Structure 1
Amino acid sequence: MNDDPLTGATCPFCDPSPADIVVQNTLAYARADAFPVSPGHTLIVPFRHVSSFFEATEAERVALLDLLCRCRDALEERYHPDGWNIGINVGPAAGQTVPHLHIHLIPRYAGDVPDPRGGVRGVVPEKKMY
């Protein structure tokens, strides 16, 4: 496991337990989010400790997107969501709390919030509506 150079904290995404992996390829894996915002919330994570999508290699980005689509298909079949949010937080100012790249695949359901308009724009609430 890699340690955060600033805090010394152990990375929760390095060296995943085989029991946590729902699907994988050679460069990345998917796991259920430990704190899901909806049923089926899944994280897509590279095996290599890299903090940003922009630091990932082209091959890692391809592997991540492959798993994103494969997980979406499986979640669609199991949960039948009405929509999706896909998100990556890059840097503390954007809300990144774990310095290991991970993509959130969040199934959305009709009525899960009063007004879903604006989607990911809601990270800045006053800019959500346009």
Structure 2
Amino acid sequence: MEECPLCQLNLVEQQQVIVKNERCIFLQMPQDVLIGSGLIVPIQHRETVFDLTPEEWQATYSLLHEVKAMLDQSYSPDGYNVGWNCYPVGGQNIMHAHLHVIPRFNDEPFSGKGIRHWLKKKENQRQ
């Protein structure tokens, strides 16, 4: 996948591998708003979470716990949002599966607002 920024990490200048295991990596880049956030990405190109192998699921689970411990120590967040966007309608902009790991803090303006908060608004009701 020559043009995939999650396969070709050099395509995104400030992107860094923070920690990895045999099947997944945790990437971060400098953030002004979502401090400490990053992506857990399978090393092999998989389009969505639905394409992961059982071994990649296990590796993602393992890395997620390692990443949480690291973020807890570095940032002491008050909570987390963790989630996958799948396909363009679901908000996926890079067609390589990636799990968002977003530390959350009590002093944020949107503290207490989870992933579903924006989707369940009346304005999002289908016609």
The bucket for the TM-score relative to the shorter chain is 0.7 to 0.9
Question: Following the alignment from structure 2 to structure 1, what is the Cα–Cα distance between the partners of residues 19 and 111?
Answer: 33
Instruction: Name the residue aligned to 1:121.
Output: 116
TM-score (norm 1): 0.82
Q: Which runs of 5+ in 2 are unaligned?
A: 123-127
1:61-98 deviations in whole A, cap 9, x for unaligned?
Answer: 11111111100100000000000000100111110000
Q: Which residue of 1 aligns with 2:97?
A: 101
What is the TM-score with the length of structure 2 in the denominator? 0.83
- The equivalent residue for 1:11 is 4
Residue matched to 2:56 = 60
Instruction: Show structure 1 runs of 5+ residues with no match.
Output: 4-9
Secondary structure at 1:64's aligned position in 2?
A: helix
Are 1:24 and 2:20 an aligned pair? Answer: yes
Query: How far does the alpha carbon of each residue in 1:21-65 deviate from its partner, in whole angstroms, 9 at most, with x for none?
Result: 111111111110465641100110000110111110000011111
Task: Tell me the number of residue pairs that the alignment of Structure 1 and Structure 2 aligns.
Answer: 118
Distance in 2, matches of 1:91 and 1:75, equals 28
Say which of 34, 39, 45 aligns to 1:43: 39
Q: How far apart, in 2, do the equivalents of 1:58 and 1:36 lie? A: 35
Change (3 A) 1:69 1:55: same
